[in-house]
Amino acid sequence: MPFAGNILSVLKLTELIGGRYEKIKKLGQGSYGEVWLVADTEAGEGEHYYVAKIPFSRGYNKIFQREADICRKLAPHPGTVRLIETLNEGGRLILIQEYVQGRTLQELLETGELPPAWRDRIILKVIDTVAFAHRLKIMHRDIKPNNIMIAPHDTVKLLDYGAAKELKDRDISATMIGSRPLHGPRADHGPQRTPERRLGPGGHHVSLVHRRPALLLRSGKTAYRPDPHPGTHSPPDRKTRTCPRNWRPSS
């Protein structure tokens, strides 16, 4: 039936993002939007799969624009995900990014498929990526095993800059953001100095990833117990608190 075929063709076109990218599989969703694997219907031979980050509403456009700007600045580094383009679809700002094939560090930890020889290489590559961002005064703020992709050819990519922040001169923000189980005690207790405000050699901002790389390689365990009374932000008793340097994970 030619008429029915035309209707299906029109419906097919309406599913394309920007009239070009076809949704293949939903990869997940966060606080601000969904993440989809998409195929470029206009691509010839070669790369044609990408990731589309789609906000739930136009109210999140500013957040998505900030992530796009940060990705452009970090583009020269091989450890960051490339931003292909941004699209305006129905008033919403959509990010089209490089699709990285591989497995997350979290998956490798859970299956026990992470060879010991890989660990130092992964940590060093992540630190190199983070150091590059810090030189540009960009804080990722959500570094965790699920956001570290291990791809073929010894490639390690740091994903998801949705929570990232570009620090300005004299920035004194104490905003706490990211994944709570991986927060350090300074992020969870009181008005103490946060990693965003700690300066390293040469005035570069440094984060806890430089000081606690074991956090990224511990499956199901974190160096700090969750706050039993979230939201109170009461400082711990300094007389009874165990210094993080002396903390040892239970076997």
Binned at pLDDT 50, 70 and 90, residue 36 comes out as very high
Q: pLDDT, tens digit, for every residue of 216-246? A: 554 444 444 444 555 554 555 555 555 555 5
Contact between 35 and 29 (Cβ < 8 Å): yes
**pLDDT exceeds 60 at position 184:** no
- Domain membership of residue 241 (yes or no) is no
- Domain membership of residue 251 (yes or no) is no
Contact between 51 and 160 (Cβ < 8 Å): no
Residue 248's pLDDT is what?
55
**pLDDT exceeds 70 at position 88:** yes
Residue 233's pLDDT is what?
47
Cα separation of 42 and 40, whole Å?
A: 5
Does one domain contain both 180 and 67? no
**Alpha-carbon distances, residue 51 vs 63, 95, 100 (angstroms):** 17, 8, 9
Contact between 36 and 96 (Cβ < 8 Å): no
Binned at pLDDT 50, 70 and 90, residue 154 comes out as confident
Is the pTM of the predicted complex or chain greater than 0.85? Answer: no
Binned at pLDDT 50, 70 and 90, residue 13 comes out as very low
> Which DSSP letter does residue 2 get?
H
Does one domain contain both 112 and 200? yes
**pLDDT exceeds 80 at position 153:** yes
- Average of per-residue pLDDT values in the chain: 75
Does one domain contain both 128 and 112? yes
CATH number for the domain that contains residue 71: 3.30.200.20
Domain that holds residue 76: 14-98
Binned at pLDDT 50, 70 and 90, residue 96 comes out as very high
Of the residues 51, 70, 98, the one at which a domain ends: 98
Q: Which two tokens stand for residue 195?
A: 């990693």
Does one domain contain both 201 and 110? yes
**pLDDT exceeds 50 at position 171:** yes
Number of folded domains that form the chain: 2
- Domain membership of residue 231 (yes or no) is no
